[in-house]
Amino acid sequence: MKFLPIFILSLLTFVSCKKKTLSPDIFSTETIQLQTHSLQTYTVIKNTKYLVVFESGLGDDHTIWNKKNLPSLLSTNQDVLLYDRAGYGNSGKSDLPRTIATLSSELGSVIDQYSNNRTLILVGHSIAGMILRDYALKNPEKIAGILLIDPSHEAYNQPTQEQEDLIYSQFLKAYGADYGATTEARQIVEDTQYMATLQNLPNVPIVVITSMKEDAEHDASDKQKWFNAHELFKVGISDFTHIVTKKSGHYIFLDEPNLVLENLNLLISKLAKE
């Protein structure tokens, strides 16, 4: 059951971190009203060249990024946007099916409030890789670069309905039917099938950081499949960087925040020279 442990890890991490990590005072908080619900945003806007957008994984709201202060450290030089998807943090609840296509559309609504026609640097973890990929494919002209941290990919993540039901039931039992991860987990099988229909990413600089750390659920063979899936992100990309680490588990940005920050800064520096 190679798919399941990654999402169970998301659940366990969120449970253990239930006490919120407050957003630093440097962030401005605003509520964006969509047609069906509201979304809470956290920004530092100085109108620099790029807007750096952080997208969280399943079970995590925006505060997961603040545990190692990545957005705060980055915001000394860049504009930063974080937000909570529907059902997380202070964002409202939505009755719409929480599919990848819906999530990327709502991400677009948030971005449009702050981008001011600037291009974007997208940063995402785990299932956020699917959300950002869908958004980037639908808005290629808006993308300057992408950094993906142990991102989900349908070449590896191929859940059964039984696995989806298990993940859904665990979130349901722990947090209720309206919780963001509960509603998103209900779409995992359909989302994976949807992602398989998409084309390659737009040809912009892309960095992928992959955990190759073995554990009880992921042996060397399984990790090689994970790496191979991430290699597929480079198809059609002229500037692709694939970094691996054996020091970190799935949450690389918590285990090795400097690795992520350094590569994000390198990506920004590279784009600035173009």
Q: What is the predicted pLDDT for the residue at 77?
A: 87
Model pLDDT for residues 17-29, shown as the tens digit of each residue: 444 555 667 899 9
pLDDT: is 75 or 201 the higher one?
201
Q: What is the predicted pLDDT for the residue at 137?
A: 98
Model pLDDT for residues 212-255, shown as the tens digit of each residue: 999 888 899 999 999 999 999 999 999 999 999 999 999 999 99
Domains identified in the chain and CATH numbers: 4-272 (3.40.50.1820)
Residues 6+ apart with CB under 8 A from 78: 48, 50, 52, 121, 268
Burial of 231 (0-12, 13-18, 19+ CB in 10 A): middle
Measured distance CA(38)–CA(17) in Å, rounded:
24
Mean pLDDT of the chain: 91
DSSP letter (8 states) at residue 157: -
Q: What is the predicted pLDDT for the residue at 218?
A: 87
Q: What is the predicted pLDDT for the residue at 182?
A: 96
